[in-house]
């Protein structure tokens, strides 16, 4: 067998141009399939991460009926000891308390219904980078009595930093919640819906304004590793009774899950089409290599070389070429994918507007992880190795007299 391996390896480099052409077809197939799958997986990861960080968390704890009613009556009281118990789980990276409700905001003759979110400014900024979205004014402090409003909302109200807006709504137990609140900062969101409806108060001020002292509506939990969701959910369910509801992001955002599943199905179909194109490209190259060597094969069989031995050697050649192309493609794709992961492709025009309507930034993000990486490599390698059956079958049916005549 070692002799056949040596013969196959030497045959590759007798015609370097032919070998490089064949290996190149595998090389570009690996890079193309990796980039396509990286783009698909990257966008799914981005959609999930955006939803998790901005709103739901990987897991969310709230009052039993809060998710259905969205009422302050379903808010909760969390003391420091309970928070410390949750922090004992090493899989948890961040715990973000929020008080969320809706209220009427007015300035001059303009009024709008907006979402009001009470936040702990430093904790919120760690997760959502809200401070970095400030385009005018200042960020909230822990005891701030001001309000952050979205840029689009500020334009609708014609309000600026330093102006005072009226917040009017219903507080805990139906108490009227009305106050004149100064605008301390304006934040810009790329998503139009957020940019027209989001407002933020410091958690302390929000609890005081809505008469929901020491209460929150949700506790969003971010994990170090999203694969630990089920184990952390079990841990949390042992800490809380039936008056609390513990939901993960798939339950909180079913529309997102469905859209990912639908897109992934279409993505797999597109990847399948790509593999068919790749298979024809690799197979065509192998056919070309075989056709060029018909006379060579005829001479070898005529002087007494067994067909099965020749078939083994040509099969090994194809396998070597496949490995060379796959290895080169895998190595070359690493810097390409790492660059794309750090530098997502921005989108413009109608495509960008369509993506913004879905609630995500208009970019094409990429992902890089071993599972995706090796799955594409082995698939392309399998296609290349299967193509080796063509020269094997060709040699089996070879007639030396016809081969010598070309």
- The burial class, CB within 10 Å (0-12 / 13-18 / 19+), for 381 is buried
Kind plus residue range of the DSSP H or E element containing 168: strand 164-170
Res 359 pLDDT > 60: no
pTM: 0.69
The CA distance from 69 to 67, in Å, is 6
More confidently predicted of 121 and 350: 121
- The burial class, CB within 10 Å (0-12 / 13-18 / 19+), for 177 is buried
pLDDT band with cut points at 50, 70 and 90 for residue 358: low
Res 326 pLDDT > 80: yes
pLDDT number for residue 103: 92
Question: What are the structure tokens assigned to 394, written together?
Answer: 């060709």
230 phi/psi in degrees, rounded to 5: -65, -40
- What is the largest distance, in Å, between two alpha-carbon atoms of the chain? 102
Give how far Cα 146 sits from Cα of 198, 227, 396, Å: 14, 39, 84
Domain ranges, ordered by start, for the chain: 2-51+256-404, 65-241
């Amino acid at each position: 067998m070692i002799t056949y391996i040596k013969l196959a390896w030497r045959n590759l480099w007798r015609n370097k141009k032919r070998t490089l052409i064949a290996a190149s077809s595998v090389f570009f197939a690996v890079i193309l399939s990796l980039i396509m799958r990286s783009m698909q997986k990257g966008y799914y990861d981005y959609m999930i991460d955006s939803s998790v960080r901005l709103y739901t968390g990987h897991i969310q704890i709230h009052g039993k009926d809060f998710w259905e009613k969205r009422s302050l009556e379903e808010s909760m009281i969390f003391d420091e000891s309970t928070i410390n118990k949750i922090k004992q789980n090493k899989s948890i990276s961040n715990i973000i308390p929020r008080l969320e409700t809706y209220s009427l905001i007015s300035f001059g003759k303009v009024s709008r219904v907006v979402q009001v979110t009470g936040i702990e400014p430093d904790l919120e900024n760690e997760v959502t980078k809200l401070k970095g979205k400030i385009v005018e004014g200042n960020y909230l402090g822990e005891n701030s009595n001001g309000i952050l409003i979205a840029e689009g909302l500020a334009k609708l109200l014609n309000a600026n930093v330093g102006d005072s807006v009226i917040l009017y709504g219903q507080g805990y137990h139906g108490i009227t919640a009305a106050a004149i609140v100064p605008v301390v900062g304006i934040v810009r969101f790329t998503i139009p819906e957020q940019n027209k409806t989001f407002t933020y108060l410091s958690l302390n001020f929000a609890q005081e304004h809505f008469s929901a002292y020491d209460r929150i509506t949700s506790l969003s939990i971010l994990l170090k590793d999203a694969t630990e969701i089920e184990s952390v959910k079990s841990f949390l369910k042992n800490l809380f009774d039936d008056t609390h509801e513990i939901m993960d992001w798939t339950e909180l955002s079913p529309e997102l899950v469905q859209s990912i599943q639908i897109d992934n199905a279409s993505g797999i179909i597109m990847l399948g089409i790509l593999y068919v194109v790749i298979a024809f490209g690799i197979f065509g190259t192998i056919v070309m290599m075989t056709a060029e060597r018909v006379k060579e094969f005829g001479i070898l069989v005529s002087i007494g070389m067994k067909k099965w031995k020749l078939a083994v050697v040509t099969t090994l050649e194809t396998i070597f070429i496949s490995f060379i192309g796959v290895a080169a493609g895998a190595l070359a794709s690493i810097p390409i994918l790492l660059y794309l992961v750090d530098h997502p492709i921005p989108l413009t025009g109608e495509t960008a507007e369509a993506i913004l309507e879905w609630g995500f930034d208009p970019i094409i993000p990429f992902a890089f992880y071993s599972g995706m990486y090796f799955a594409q490599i082995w698939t392309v390698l399998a296609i290349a190795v299967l193509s080796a059956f063509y020269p094997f079958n060709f040699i089996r049916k070879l007639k030396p007299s016809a081969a010598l005549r070309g």
